Structure 1
Amino acid sequence: MKKRRGFIKAAILHLLKEESMHGYQIMKELESRSDGLYSASAGTVYPALQELLEKEWIKLESDLEKKIYFITDEGKERLKELRKREEGDFWADWKERLIWRNSEEFIQLKTAVEQWEEEMHKAMKRVRSNPESAAEMSAFLTEMTERLKIANK
Protein backbone atom coordinates (compact mmCIF):
# COMPACT_ATOMS: atom_id res chain seq x y z
CA MET A 1 0.00 0.00 0.00
CA LYS A 2 1.32 3.44 -0.92
CA LYS A 3 2.03 5.53 2.14
CA ARG A 4 -0.11 8.63 2.30
CA ARG A 5 1.81 11.86 2.48
CA GLY A 6 -0.99 14.37 1.89
CA PHE A 7 -0.67 16.17 5.19
CA ILE A 8 3.13 16.36 4.92
CA LYS A 9 2.90 17.67 1.36
CA ALA A 10 0.48 20.37 2.50
CA ALA A 11 2.81 21.27 5.39
CA ILE A 12 5.76 21.52 3.01
CA LEU A 13 3.79 23.82 0.70
CA HIS A 14 2.89 26.02 3.68
CA LEU A 15 6.55 26.22 4.70
CA LEU A 16 7.83 26.96 1.21
CA LYS A 17 5.25 29.71 0.79
CA GLU A 18 6.95 31.44 3.72
CA GLU A 19 10.51 30.89 2.43
CA SER A 20 12.61 28.63 0.24
CA MET A 21 14.40 25.87 2.16
CA HIS A 22 16.60 22.84 1.75
CA GLY A 23 15.40 19.40 2.83
CA TYR A 24 17.04 19.37 6.25
CA GLN A 25 15.57 22.80 7.05
CA ILE A 26 12.12 21.50 6.10
CA MET A 27 12.52 18.51 8.42
CA LYS A 28 13.68 20.70 11.30
CA GLU A 29 10.93 23.27 10.73
CA LEU A 30 8.25 20.54 10.71
CA GLU A 31 9.57 19.29 14.02
CA SER A 32 9.64 22.82 15.41
CA ARG A 33 6.11 23.67 14.24
CA SER A 34 4.81 20.56 16.00
CA ASP A 35 6.58 21.45 19.26
CA GLY A 36 8.51 18.19 18.92
CA LEU A 37 5.43 15.99 18.49
CA TYR A 38 6.50 15.11 14.95
CA SER A 39 9.99 13.99 14.09
CA ALA A 40 10.31 14.32 10.32
CA SER A 41 12.35 11.62 8.63
CA ALA A 42 14.12 11.71 5.30
CA GLY A 43 12.06 8.65 4.35
CA THR A 44 8.89 10.72 4.58
CA VAL A 45 10.00 14.21 3.57
CA TYR A 46 12.07 13.43 0.47
CA PRO A 47 9.45 11.22 -1.21
CA ALA A 48 6.89 13.97 -0.50
CA LEU A 49 9.25 16.54 -2.03
CA GLN A 50 9.66 14.29 -5.07
CA GLU A 51 5.88 14.05 -5.50
CA LEU A 52 5.58 17.83 -5.22
CA LEU A 53 8.34 18.24 -7.83
CA GLU A 54 6.60 15.82 -10.19
CA LYS A 55 3.35 17.80 -9.86
CA GLU A 56 5.37 20.99 -10.46
CA TRP A 57 4.06 22.52 -7.25
CA ILE A 58 7.65 23.14 -6.18
CA LYS A 59 10.96 23.59 -8.00
CA LEU A 60 14.47 22.66 -7.05
CA GLU A 61 17.41 24.99 -7.36
CA SER A 62 20.92 23.71 -6.74
CA ASP A 63 23.66 25.96 -5.53
CA LEU A 64 27.17 24.79 -4.74
CA GLU A 65 26.28 23.47 -1.30
CA LYS A 66 22.60 22.54 -1.07
CA LYS A 67 19.47 21.86 -3.04
CA ILE A 68 16.94 24.58 -2.30
CA TYR A 69 13.21 23.98 -2.77
CA PHE A 70 10.79 26.78 -3.54
CA ILE A 71 7.08 26.95 -4.25
CA THR A 72 5.84 27.56 -7.80
CA ASP A 73 2.78 29.51 -8.91
CA GLU A 74 1.04 26.14 -9.37
CA GLY A 75 1.98 25.23 -5.80
CA LYS A 76 0.54 28.50 -4.53
CA GLU A 77 -2.69 27.76 -6.39
CA ARG A 78 -2.82 24.28 -4.85
CA LEU A 79 -2.31 25.84 -1.44
CA LYS A 80 -5.24 28.20 -2.08
CA GLU A 81 -7.41 25.18 -2.96
CA LEU A 82 -6.34 23.41 0.22
CA ARG A 83 -7.08 26.49 2.33
CA LYS A 84 -10.66 26.56 1.05
CA ARG A 85 -11.17 23.15 2.67
CA GLU A 86 -9.29 23.98 5.88
CA GLU A 87 -11.05 25.20 8.95
CA GLY A 88 -8.86 27.32 11.18
CA ASP A 89 -5.11 27.58 11.33
CA PHE A 90 -3.21 24.84 9.47
CA TRP A 91 -0.42 24.56 12.06
CA ALA A 92 -2.80 24.50 15.04
CA ASP A 93 -4.86 21.80 13.31
CA TRP A 94 -1.67 19.87 12.57
CA LYS A 95 -0.58 19.94 16.22
CA GLU A 96 -4.06 18.90 17.34
CA ARG A 97 -3.92 15.95 14.94
CA LEU A 98 -0.47 14.93 16.23
CA ILE A 99 -1.65 15.12 19.84
CA TRP A 100 -4.60 12.87 18.92
CA ARG A 101 -2.38 10.37 17.11
CA ASN A 102 -0.25 10.05 20.25
CA SER A 103 -3.21 9.65 22.60
CA GLU A 104 -4.16 6.42 24.35
CA GLU A 105 -7.59 6.58 22.72
CA PHE A 106 -6.13 6.72 19.21
CA ILE A 107 -3.72 3.88 19.92
CA GLN A 108 -6.57 1.79 21.34
CA LEU A 109 -8.75 2.43 18.27
CA LYS A 110 -5.86 1.82 15.87
CA THR A 111 -5.14 -1.53 17.51
CA ALA A 112 -8.81 -2.50 17.27
CA VAL A 113 -8.94 -1.52 13.58
CA GLU A 114 -5.79 -3.51 12.83
CA GLN A 115 -7.29 -6.58 14.51
CA TRP A 116 -10.53 -6.03 12.58
CA GLU A 117 -8.62 -5.80 9.29
CA GLU A 118 -6.79 -9.04 10.02
CA GLU A 119 -10.04 -10.87 10.81
CA MET A 120 -11.72 -9.31 7.78
CA HIS A 121 -9.01 -10.68 5.48
CA LYS A 122 -9.50 -14.13 7.00
CA ALA A 123 -13.26 -13.87 6.55
CA MET A 124 -12.89 -12.83 2.91
CA LYS A 125 -10.68 -15.86 2.28
CA ARG A 126 -13.32 -18.11 3.85
CA VAL A 127 -16.01 -16.58 1.63
CA ARG A 128 -13.82 -17.12 -1.42
CA SER A 129 -13.64 -20.84 -0.64
CA ASN A 130 -17.26 -20.96 0.54
CA PRO A 131 -19.26 -18.58 -1.73
CA GLU A 132 -22.61 -19.46 -0.17
CA SER A 133 -21.51 -17.59 2.98
CA ALA A 134 -21.21 -14.31 1.01
CA ALA A 135 -24.77 -13.23 1.79
CA GLU A 136 -24.24 -13.71 5.52
CA MET A 137 -20.95 -11.78 5.41
CA SER A 138 -22.54 -8.99 3.37
CA ALA A 139 -25.43 -8.72 5.86
CA PHE A 140 -22.96 -8.54 8.74
CA LEU A 141 -20.95 -5.77 7.05
CA THR A 142 -24.12 -3.83 6.20
CA GLU A 143 -25.24 -4.05 9.85
CA MET A 144 -21.84 -2.84 11.10
CA THR A 145 -21.88 0.03 8.60
CA GLU A 146 -25.33 1.10 9.79
CA ARG A 147 -24.19 0.92 13.41
CA LEU A 148 -21.21 3.16 12.60
CA LYS A 149 -23.50 5.65 10.88
CA ILE A 150 -25.70 5.79 13.97
CA ALA A 151 -22.65 6.18 16.23
CA ASN A 152 -21.41 9.08 14.07
CA LYS A 153 -24.60 11.12 14.45
Structure 2
Amino acid sequence: MVETALTVNGGTVRVALDPRESLLDLLREQLGLTGTKKGCDQGQCGACTVHVDGRRVLSCLTPAVQANGRSVTTIEGVADPDGTLHPLQQAFIDHDALQCGYCTPGQVMSGLACIAEGHAADDEIRESLSGNLCRCGAYVGIVAAVRDVARREES
Protein backbone atom coordinates (compact mmCIF):
# COMPACT_ATOMS: atom_id res chain seq x y z
CA MET A 1 0.00 0.00 0.00
CA VAL A 2 1.15 3.52 -0.82
CA GLU A 3 0.15 6.48 1.35
CA THR A 4 -1.22 9.16 -0.96
CA ALA A 5 -2.56 12.67 -0.38
CA LEU A 6 -4.42 14.58 -3.04
CA THR A 7 -6.99 17.32 -3.37
CA VAL A 8 -10.36 16.21 -4.73
CA ASN A 9 -12.92 18.88 -5.57
CA GLY A 10 -11.17 21.29 -3.21
CA GLY A 11 -10.82 18.97 -0.21
CA THR A 12 -7.72 17.12 0.94
CA VAL A 13 -7.93 13.34 0.84
CA ARG A 14 -5.43 10.92 2.40
CA VAL A 15 -5.67 7.27 1.38
CA ALA A 16 -3.61 4.11 1.30
CA LEU A 17 -3.60 2.79 -2.25
CA ASP A 18 -2.69 -0.37 -4.02
CA PRO A 19 -0.22 0.92 -6.66
CA ARG A 20 -2.29 -0.85 -9.34
CA GLU A 21 -5.52 0.99 -8.48
CA SER A 22 -6.85 3.38 -11.09
CA LEU A 23 -7.89 6.93 -10.30
CA LEU A 24 -11.37 5.95 -11.49
CA ASP A 25 -11.64 3.17 -8.91
CA LEU A 26 -10.32 5.44 -6.16
CA LEU A 27 -12.93 8.07 -6.99
CA ARG A 28 -15.86 5.67 -7.31
CA GLU A 29 -15.08 2.89 -4.84
CA GLN A 30 -13.20 4.62 -2.02
CA LEU A 31 -14.45 8.20 -2.22
CA GLY A 32 -18.02 7.51 -3.36
CA LEU A 33 -17.82 9.98 -6.27
CA THR A 34 -19.89 7.97 -8.70
CA GLY A 35 -20.52 10.80 -11.18
CA THR A 36 -17.36 9.72 -12.99
CA LYS A 37 -18.50 6.74 -15.02
CA LYS A 38 -16.82 3.44 -15.78
CA GLY A 39 -17.61 2.88 -19.44
CA CYS A 40 -15.12 0.75 -21.31
CA ASP A 41 -12.36 0.72 -18.64
CA GLN A 42 -9.89 0.82 -21.56
CA GLY A 43 -9.60 4.55 -22.33
CA GLN A 44 -11.72 4.42 -25.44
CA CYS A 45 -15.05 6.02 -24.45
CA GLY A 46 -14.21 9.09 -22.33
CA ALA A 47 -16.94 8.44 -19.73
CA CYS A 48 -14.29 8.56 -16.98
CA THR A 49 -12.85 11.97 -17.91
CA VAL A 50 -11.76 14.12 -14.95
CA HIS A 51 -9.31 17.00 -14.58
CA VAL A 52 -5.95 16.60 -12.86
CA ASP A 53 -4.26 19.93 -12.22
CA GLY A 54 -6.66 21.48 -14.73
CA ARG A 55 -5.94 19.04 -17.56
CA ARG A 56 -8.35 16.35 -18.67
CA VAL A 57 -7.33 12.76 -18.15
CA LEU A 58 -8.97 9.40 -18.58
CA SER A 59 -9.20 8.25 -14.99
CA CYS A 60 -9.52 4.57 -15.94
CA LEU A 61 -5.98 4.69 -17.39
CA THR A 62 -4.44 6.89 -14.69
CA PRO A 63 -2.86 5.13 -11.72
CA ALA A 64 -4.30 6.74 -8.59
CA VAL A 65 -0.83 7.08 -7.06
CA GLN A 66 0.03 9.51 -9.88
CA ALA A 67 -2.46 11.94 -8.36
CA ASN A 68 -0.35 12.21 -5.20
CA GLY A 69 0.05 15.92 -4.40
CA ARG A 70 -2.19 16.94 -7.27
CA SER A 71 -5.63 18.48 -7.61
CA VAL A 72 -8.44 16.36 -9.09
CA THR A 73 -11.77 17.79 -10.21
CA THR A 74 -14.68 15.49 -10.95
CA ILE A 75 -18.15 16.30 -12.21
CA GLU A 76 -19.23 16.65 -8.57
CA GLY A 77 -16.82 19.57 -8.20
CA VAL A 78 -18.05 21.55 -11.21
CA ALA A 79 -21.27 23.08 -9.86
CA ASP A 80 -21.18 25.89 -7.29
CA PRO A 81 -21.25 24.76 -3.64
CA ASP A 82 -24.77 26.19 -3.35
CA GLY A 83 -25.93 23.77 -6.06
CA THR A 84 -26.05 26.25 -8.93
CA LEU A 85 -25.06 24.44 -12.10
CA HIS A 86 -21.96 25.45 -14.00
CA PRO A 87 -22.93 27.31 -17.21
CA LEU A 88 -21.85 24.30 -19.30
CA GLN A 89 -24.01 21.95 -17.26
CA GLN A 90 -26.95 24.31 -17.78
CA ALA A 91 -26.14 24.57 -21.50
CA PHE A 92 -26.31 20.77 -21.78
CA ILE A 93 -29.87 20.99 -20.48
CA ASP A 94 -30.77 24.01 -22.63
CA HIS A 95 -29.40 22.43 -25.83
CA ASP A 96 -30.81 18.96 -25.13
CA ALA A 97 -27.25 17.63 -25.15
CA LEU A 98 -28.07 14.44 -23.29
CA GLN A 99 -30.38 11.53 -23.57
CA CYS A 100 -29.57 8.63 -21.28
CA GLY A 101 -26.99 10.79 -19.46
CA TYR A 102 -24.37 8.09 -18.93
CA CYS A 103 -21.67 9.86 -20.92
CA THR A 104 -22.69 13.36 -19.80
CA PRO A 105 -20.21 13.76 -16.90
CA GLY A 106 -17.27 12.89 -19.16
CA GLN A 107 -18.67 15.06 -21.95
CA VAL A 108 -18.99 18.04 -19.58
CA MET A 109 -15.46 17.57 -18.23
CA SER A 110 -14.05 17.35 -21.76
CA GLY A 111 -16.17 20.33 -22.82
CA LEU A 112 -14.74 22.40 -19.98
CA ALA A 113 -11.22 21.48 -21.07
CA CYS A 114 -12.10 22.29 -24.68
CA ILE A 115 -13.27 25.76 -23.65
CA ALA A 116 -10.22 26.34 -21.43
CA GLU A 117 -7.97 25.34 -24.35
CA GLY A 118 -9.64 27.99 -26.54
CA HIS A 119 -11.40 25.67 -28.99
CA ALA A 120 -14.62 27.49 -29.91
CA ALA A 121 -15.21 26.70 -33.59
CA ASP A 122 -17.49 23.73 -34.31
CA ASP A 123 -14.77 21.67 -36.02
CA GLU A 124 -12.37 22.33 -33.12
CA ILE A 125 -15.04 21.34 -30.60
CA ARG A 126 -15.77 18.12 -32.49
CA GLU A 127 -12.07 17.27 -32.67
CA SER A 128 -11.51 18.14 -29.01
CA LEU A 129 -14.42 15.97 -27.90
CA SER A 130 -13.74 13.11 -30.33
CA GLY A 131 -12.51 10.87 -27.50
CA ASN A 132 -15.89 11.02 -25.77
CA LEU A 133 -18.49 8.66 -27.15
CA CYS A 134 -22.25 9.12 -26.89
CA ARG A 135 -24.16 6.00 -27.84
CA CYS A 136 -27.41 8.00 -27.93
CA GLY A 137 -26.06 10.35 -30.60
CA ALA A 138 -26.56 13.66 -28.80
CA TYR A 139 -23.52 15.13 -30.56
CA VAL A 140 -25.37 18.06 -32.17
CA GLY A 141 -26.58 19.27 -28.79
CA ILE A 142 -23.21 18.65 -27.15
CA VAL A 143 -21.37 20.76 -29.73
CA ALA A 144 -24.04 23.48 -29.46
CA ALA A 145 -23.72 23.56 -25.66
CA VAL A 146 -19.93 23.83 -25.72
CA ARG A 147 -20.06 26.44 -28.50
CA ASP A 148 -22.60 28.50 -26.57
CA VAL A 149 -20.53 28.60 -23.37
CA ALA A 150 -17.24 29.12 -25.22
CA ARG A 151 -18.66 32.15 -27.07
CA ARG A 152 -20.11 33.60 -23.86
CA GLU A 153 -16.72 33.31 -22.17
CA GLU A 154 -14.99 34.94 -25.15
CA SER A 155 -17.06 38.10 -24.83
When the two structures are superposed, what TM-score results if normalisation uses the length of structure 2? Answer: 0.24
Instruction: Report the structure number with the largest CA radius of gyration.
Output: 1
When the two structures are superposed, what TM-score results if normalisation uses the length of structure 1? Answer: 0.24
Which protein has greater RCO, CA pairs closer than 8 Å, 6+ apart? 2
